[in-house]
Amino acid sequence: MNNMMWIVRRLLRTTFRKKSSWIVYFGLPVAAILLSMLIYGSASGGSLHVGVLNQDGGKTLTQDTIHFVEGLNNVKITMTDEASMNKDIASGKLDSGLIFEQGFADSVRDGEPARLRLVSAKGAEVTAYVKALLNGYLGNVAAIGQATKSDAEAFDAIYADYKQSSFKLESESLKDTAKYKDMTYQSIGFLLMFLLFSAVNMSELILKEREDRTFLRLLSSPLSARGFVLANVLVAFIIQVLQIVVTLLILKYAIGIDSGVPLRDLLGTLLLFSPVAISLGLLITAFSKNRRGASALQTLIITPTCLLAGCFFPAEIMPDTVQKISSFLPQHWLLDTITKLQDGQAIGSLGLNLAILIAFAAVFTLVAIYRFSRNNDVRQFI
Amino acid sequence: MNVLEIRNLTKKFGDFIAVDNMNLSVREGEIFGFLGANGAGKSTTINMISSLLRISKGEIQLLGRDIVKENKFAKMNIGIVPQDLAIYEEMSAYENVSFFAGLYGLRGSLLKERTEEALEFVGLGDKHKALPKSFSGGMKRRLNIACAIAHRPKLIIMDEPTVGIDPQSRNYILNSVKKLNQMGCSVIYTSHYMEEVEEICTRIAIVDHGKIIAEGTKEQLKSIITDTKETWIGVRNPERLDLDALKRISGVNSVRLEEQTVKIVSRGEINNLNWVIQQLIGDQVEISSVEEQAPNLETVFLTLTGRNLRD
């Protein structure tokens, strides 16, 4: 035990003496958070930009409807012409376009609102809000039209009264938590990849000892082979804990992203992934003759599995077959756990997910031990 | 008393027998030379002594205690100087020695004292803060030794400790080995340089095909081959030599060419020098010198194994 801690001390000291280690272990996960912010921060801005094309002239009803839209919370309107509107919608400058065709005001007055079109390249996500409120507003005006039939004077009188009548309306903008949840998901996706890479990097230290022949001296000392491997595992775990804690603290306190999951649950879940990452690192080490081989295996395994499991973008956008394949990957189960926690499920109800993660770690470790024990060569360890 | 006792030691890798029923003993206070060509079984034996390889059969005792049953005791009392440098380039000389000594349970002021002592011993006391990457090959070899001796082992195993270094560092290391021996350490020393073994070893074992084929003091080993003699003939145009014809001459055991010298080992009782010279003249070889060699370890090794040590 003393010898094991002696090795742990040396490994930690030499690891953190190198500036590159700080960048790899902490800089990259933080950079990943910033990248997520960039992706999701720009995806949903605070205001909806609506281009208005008025082909109905200066009629009161049309002008009033335009003012109504302009007065909506989080909506900015721009008067435009047809060509510019299409161009701006296509380029993303406008979220949607509201077209008042000729005869719009008359149709409302007749009690059957028509000749109004709401167009967008982004679908219901951006049109639903304006559409719902417009329906309410125009519905009321159209009801006046229906009630007064073709009596223009009566319509104008009731409409003027309707405009002047005041009623109390309080509106409140809710915080867009979906955006933060997406950011958390994405940041954790990247963090998983970095945890896997750092675990393999730490396991590669075992191979480095082998290549540098220092392991001969280590194993001829009272240190056991098992103690040597355990010391490396312990160091990898310590570094992973630090990586996870630093990333979560930055996410929550420095950047202020609310993950939607209690910090304790998020930390616990991620710490459960750490043994998976470390055992995968050991497995790669057990099957590699040297560091070059391990690096090749690392690239071959980690990046594609992270891609399939949804670490880089949400798994839902992938085809069904790919989603089914991802069920065989530990990253999928971790991300699934996080998503379910964000959806409000208690960590206690996610026993199956957590058991699957433990099973992955156990299988990887057993295969690595079996592989190590088959070696009858002084260049190997156990 | 024997520091090391090896009985019926065997190591198999599948069907291949690397060490075959070996018996050997190293006495307390001696520098024991362990000679063998590449693949003879030396490193396998050393790896079993230092617990890096499992024993297939037989036993090894260190100071009368079985190294498998009392592995920690054995490891605490052995120091290994591996052939390949086993030091951390990213750690200073002091940190290297201190780290390895710490694995033997040394801590605090004792660790500091022994680390400084080991560095002083190999002449690196003033370089303790330097990183090995700034060292010459010889200095790295000395650091490699310091890492093996700080815990004061009873038996030090040195596997080719002078490979690839300058003569000055080589002399320093050889003197260090003698000094360690005077301080009470027993040493097992392997080398490809026969003159080193002749200079420092008190007893020598020659291993071939996993077996000890000869063991004793230098004199005892040389006496094995009093029935042979070695003649060195300097030649100016070695390309004209017909080595096969020389081997066919009556009494010749072996012939080898080293640069411009033909080395011929013959049976002692047969005087065949005239026939050898006649053959060379017949082949129009220009002779520059003829020397009769007294038996040395090189000859002993060649005679017993049929190979050069550097083969």
Q: What is the pLDDT of residues A305-349, one digit of tens each?
A: 988 888 887 777 778 888 888 889 999 999 989 888 888 888 788
Order the strands of the B228-235 sheet from edge to edge. B252-258, B261-267, B228-235, B287-293
- Report the alpha-carbon distance of residue A156 to residue A59 in Å, rounded: 13
3-state secondary structure chain A: CHHHHHHHHHHHHHHHHCHHHHHHHHHHHHHHHHHHHHHHHCCCCCCEEEEEEECCCCCHHHHHHHHHHHCCCCEEEEECCHHHHHHHHHHCCCCEEEEECCCHHHHHHCCCCCCEEEECCCCHHHHHHHHHHHHHHHHHHHHHHHHHCCCHHHHHHHHHHHHHCCCCCCCCCCCCHHHHHHHHHHHHHHHHHHHHHHHHHHHHHHHHHHHCCHHHHHHCCCCCHHHHHHHHHHHHHHHHHHHHHHHHHHHHHHCCCCCCCCHHHHHHHHHHHHHHHHHHHHHHHHCCCCHHHHHHHHHHHHHHHHHHHCCCCCHHHCCHHHHHHHCCCHHHHHHHHHHHHHCCCCHHHHHHHHHHHHHHHHHHHHHHHHHHHCCCCCCCCC
Number of C-alpha atoms within 13 angstroms, CB side, residue A215?
A: 24
pLDDT in tens, A196-210: 988 888 888 888 888
- Residues from B contacting A (CB-CB < 8 Å) are 13, 47, 50-54, 72, 75-76, 78, 80, 82, 84-91, 99-100, 102-105, 147-148
Average pLDDT of A370-382? 58
pLDDT above 60 for A42: no
- How wide is the angle at C-alpha B65 spanned by C-alphas B64 and B71, nearest 5°? 150
pLDDT above 50 for B109: yes
- pLDDT at position A49 is 87
Which residue is closest to B156 within chain A, CA to CA?
A: A220
Q: Which of A125, A165, A176, A118 has its CA nearest to residue A141?
A: A165
Question: Which residues in chain A touch residue B89, judged by CB atoms under 8 angstroms apart?
Answer: 212
- Tell me the Cα Rg of chain B: 22
- pLDDT at position A382 is 37
The residue type of B159 is D
Confidence at A169, pLDDT banded by 50, 70, 90? low
- pLDDT at position A380 is 47
Confidence at B293, pLDDT banded by 50, 70, 90? confident
Query: What whole-number percentage of chain A has pLDDT above 90?
Result: 12
- In a mutational test of the B interface, the residue from A1, A13, A221 whose CB has the highest number of chain B CBs within 10 Å is A221
- Report the alpha-carbon distance of residue B151 to residue B185 in Å, rounded: 12
Average pLDDT of B153-159? 92
Query: What whole-number percentage of chain B has pLDDT above 70?
Result: 97
Confidence at B271, pLDDT banded by 50, 70, 90? confident
Confidence at A136, pLDDT banded by 50, 70, 90? confident
Residue A234 backbone phi and psi in degrees, to 5: -60, -40
Closest CA of chain B from A372, distance in Å: 14
| Residue contact A222–B147, C-beta within 8 A | no
Closest CA of chain B from A279, distance in Å: 25
Q: In Å, how far are A226, A228, A261, B106 from A1, measured between CA atoms? A: 11, 10, 37, 14
- Report the alpha-carbon distance of residue B56 to residue B59 in Å, rounded: 9
- pLDDT at position A339 is 85
Closest CA of chain A from B180, distance in Å: 19
Mean model confidence pLDDT for chain A: 83
Confidence at B104, pLDDT banded by 50, 70, 90? very high
Question: How many C-beta atoms surround the C-beta of residue A253 within 10 A?
Answer: 10
- pLDDT at position B310 is 55
Which element (helix H / strand E) includes B222? helix B218-224
The burial of A61, by beta-carbon neighbours within 10 Å (0-12 exposed, 13-18 middle, 19 or more buried), is given as buried
Least confident of A3-7, B28-32, B147-151: A3-7
Report the C-alpha dihedral over residues B98, B100, B105, B106, rounded to 10 degrees: -20
Average pLDDT of B195-220? 89
Question: Which residues in chain A touch residue B41, judged by CB atoms under 8 angstroms apart?
Answer: none
Average pLDDT of B283-302? 84
How high is the ipTM of this complex? Answer: 0.77
| Token pair of A227 as six digits | 């103690």
- In a mutational test of the B interface, the residue from A217, A224, A377, A380 whose CB has the highest number of chain B CBs within 10 Å is A217
Confidence at A364, pLDDT banded by 50, 70, 90? very high
The residue type of A156 is D
- pLDDT at position B18 is 92
Question: How many C-beta atoms surround the C-beta of residue A355 within 10 A?
Answer: 11
Q: Which domains occur in chain A, in start order?
A: 2-41+177-381 (no CATH), 47-163 (3.40.1710.10)
Average pLDDT of A143-153? 83
- pLDDT at position A171 is 66
Which element (helix H / strand E) includes B22? strand B16-27
pLDDT in tens, A149-162: 778 888 888 888 88
Q: Does A220 touch chain B (CB under 8 A)?
A: yes
Mean model confidence pLDDT for chain B: 89
pLDDT above 50 for A381: no
What residue has token string 């270094």?
A: B165
pLDDT above 50 for A279: yes
Among the partner residues B54, B87, B103, nearest to A223 by beta-carbon distance: B103
Burial A70-82 (b: 16+ CB within 10 A, else e): eebeebebeebee
Give the contacts of B92 (CB within 8 A, at least 6 positions apart).
B128, B129, B130, B131
| Token pair of A53 as six digits | 């094309």
What residue has token string 């804990």?
A: A241
Confidence at B27, pLDDT banded by 50, 70, 90? very high
A346 φ/ψ sector (left φ>0, alpha ψ -120 to 50, else beta): beta
The residue type of A338 is I
| Token pair of B7 as six digits | 């009985």
- Report the alpha-carbon distance of residue A141 to residue A111 in Å, rounded: 8
- Report the alpha-carbon distance of residue A370 to residue B7 in Å, rounded: 32
Of B119 and A136, the structure prediction assigns the larger pLDDT to: B119
- pLDDT at position A166 is 66
pLDDT in tens, A177-194: 666 777 788 888 888 898
The burial of B282, by beta-carbon neighbours within 10 Å (0-12 exposed, 13-18 middle, 19 or more buried), is given as exposed
pLDDT above 60 for A268: yes
Report the C-alpha dihedral over residues B2, B8, B9, B14, rounded to 10 degrees: 180
Evaluate the CA torsion angle A38, A40, A44, A46 in order and state its sign: negative
- Report the alpha-carbon distance of residue A52 to residue A98 in Å, rounded: 5
pLDDT in tens, A118-128: 888 766 667 77
Confidence at A168, pLDDT banded by 50, 70, 90? low
The pTM of the full predicted model, rounded to 2 decimals, is 0.71
Which residue is closest to A3 within chain B, CA to CA?
A: B103
pLDDT above 80 for A373: no
CB A311 within 8 A of CB A332: no
pLDDT above 70 for A41: no
- Report the alpha-carbon distance of residue B251 to residue B276 in Å, rounded: 11
